[in-house]
């Protein structure tokens, strides 16, 4: 068996296992509730963390000196115009 064939077989096995696991979770109410709670918890942590990072980045960008009012582009950090 070549390396390419082995990878293809491994991918098929993994996809089949994933589909089987998803079927079991979807058709078993306690597992479905557990998965739904896990998704809610993950989204409850990931989305606020992403938004916080965006706000911090925007805050830092707004604190940089701007030459836009004089029509000049702001040089990148470490470079001189």
What's the CA gap between 72 and 54, in Å, rounded? 26
What tens digit of pLDDT does each residue of 49-72 get? 999 999 988 888 887 665 555 556
pLDDT confidence of residue 61: 82
Mean pLDDT, residues 30-46: 92
Supply the DSSP string of 3-70, one letter for each residue. HHHHHHHHHHHHHHHHHHHHHHHHH-HHHHHHHHHHHHHHHHHHHHHHHHHHHHHHHHHHTS---GGG
pLDDT confidence of residue 10: 97
Confidence class for position 76, pLDDT limits 50, 70, 90: low
pLDDT confidence of residue 32: 95
What tens digit of pLDDT does each residue of 12-30 get? 999 999 999 999 999 999 9
């Amino acid at each position: 068996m070549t390396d390419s064939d082995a990878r293809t077989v491994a991918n098929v096995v993994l996809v089949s296992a994933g589909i089987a696991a998803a079927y079991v979770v979807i058709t078993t109410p306690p597992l479905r509730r557990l998965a739904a709670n896990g998704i809610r918890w993950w989204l409850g942590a990931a989305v606020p963390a992403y938004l916080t990072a965006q706000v911090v980045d925007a805050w830092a960008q707004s604190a940089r000196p701007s030459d836009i009012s004089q029509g000049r582009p702001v040089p990148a950090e470490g470079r001189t115009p």
